[in-house]
Amino acid sequence: MAILKDLTVGFYKIPLPSVLSDSTHGEIKAFELVTIRARDADGAEGTGYTYTVGRNGGAIADILSREIREIALGMEADDTEQLWHRVWWALHYGGRGGPAVLALSALDIALWDLKARRAPLPVWRLLGGFDRRVPCYAGGIDLDLPLDGLLKQTDDNLARGFRAIKMKVGRPSLASDVARVKAMRSHLGDEFPLMADANMKWTVEEAIRAARALQPFDLTWLEEPTIPDDVAGHARILQAGGVPIAAGENLRSLWEFKPYIAGGALSYAEPDVTNCGGVTSFMKIARLAEAFNIPVTSHGAHDITVHLLAACPNRSYLEAHGFGLDRYIANPLVLEQGMAIAPDRPGHGITFDWKGLDRLSAG
């Protein structure tokens, strides 16, 4: 029996090596990292985390320390499904999203890491195993970079081994967006996988106009063209814009993905394991997408998500995020010819530099 004995929560503010920018969040100078270490009665430990782009990290850490600790301690750690539902429904009235589900996501990741370490297996094999080589793209957060800076960032990513690139759109001028995408397409060449992300910037009509203007540049997808609350709007953009649509990083549960997937509102399902309910929820979303013949991609937390996509036959691209967490991880993501390689270490294989993180404690 792997009785859950202790939970240790960490809260850190991670400065970024360079300022990032998108159409909704503006300049991002740091991100918040919330970690949880789950230990069982035998002394085995699993690690989970979630993050924000600058706000509400304290609320997430408090929910983990104050609420989830009381709910989860003493339960069987291997019963990830039971623990997930126990926490979800205990927090439902005052949660059902927001900081509560980010906290649940971190706990669930830690429990799957613990379960896999006890196995001992890498998470991707414990989840069924499909293919440890996962196509991977570099997710630029680069809306305000001048064009020469955007192209230099792209060249740096190509030199690092990426063979697919995502850029930001949603500038005040659509003509400026179109010119930048055109320049990127010219720089990368025909058929090179290129994605664009609007970060919910547009109305439905603006998004349709933008999608039509971007049609000539053969985007792999246009991401989050409008607010996540508008399922019908996404369906209209997909139907009228003529460009594949990716969405989901701001959806917080399997049930929020259901109308998107069943309603023909996206081309690529894009959950984030750190905010959709963790590994348990991510895999259900991926299986639901598979039933509708829809590929699943990812947002953020690439060191964890590489395991999940490596277990999905309908996997598409893994996003490698630009938050700079690699500085505090012993074995960062490995790329080979544009493919991310899911590690064979037991668990998810992430080992944090806890001493280094302690210097950035925000709690």
32 & 169 share domain: no
Where does the pLDDT of residue 21 fall: very low under 50, low under 70, confident under 90, or very high at 90 and above?
A: confident
226 within some domain: yes
pLDDT of residue 363: 78
Amino acid at 38: A
* Confidence at residue 19, expressed as pLDDT on a 0 to 100 scale: 84
Give residue-wise pLDDT tens across range 301-355.
Answer: 999 999 999 999 999 999 998 777 999 999 999 999 999 999 999 999 999 999 9
CATH of the domain at 235: 3.20.20.120
Specify whether 307 is located in the same domain as 160: yes
From 115, 299, 307, 321, the catalytic residue: 299
3-state secondary structure of 223: strand
State the total domains in the chain. Answer: 2
Task: For residue range 212-232, list pLDDT tens digits in order.
Answer: 999 999 999 999 999 999 999
Q: How does pLDDT run across 146-191, given as a tens digit for each residue?
A: 999 999 999 999 999 999 999 999 999 999 999 999 999 999 999 9
One domain, residues 83 and 133: no
pLDDT, one tens digit per residue, over 120-136 is 999 999 999 999 999 99
Q: Is residue 60 part of a domain?
A: yes
- pLDDT at residue 27 tops 90: no
**CATH at residue 60:** 3.30.390.10
Domain that residue 265 falls in: 125-341
pTM flag (> 0.85):
yes
Do 191 and 315 fall into the same domain? Answer: yes
Is 229 among the domain residues?
yes
Answer yes or no: 299 catalytic. yes
Q: Map tokens 């957060």 to a residue.
A: 141
Does 174 fall in a domain? yes
Q: Is residue 26 scored above 90 in pLDDT?
A: no
Q: Same domain for 160 and 140?
A: yes
Peptide bond into 120 cis (omega under 30): yes
| Dihedral over alpha carbons 108, 109, 114, 115 (to 10 degrees) | 70
Catalytic residue among 166, 168, 201, 234: 168
Asked, for residue 99, whether it belongs to a domain, the answer is yes
Annotated active-site residue 321? The verdict is no
Residues 88 and 168 in one domain: no
Residues 24 and 4: their CA atoms lie apart, in Å, by: 39
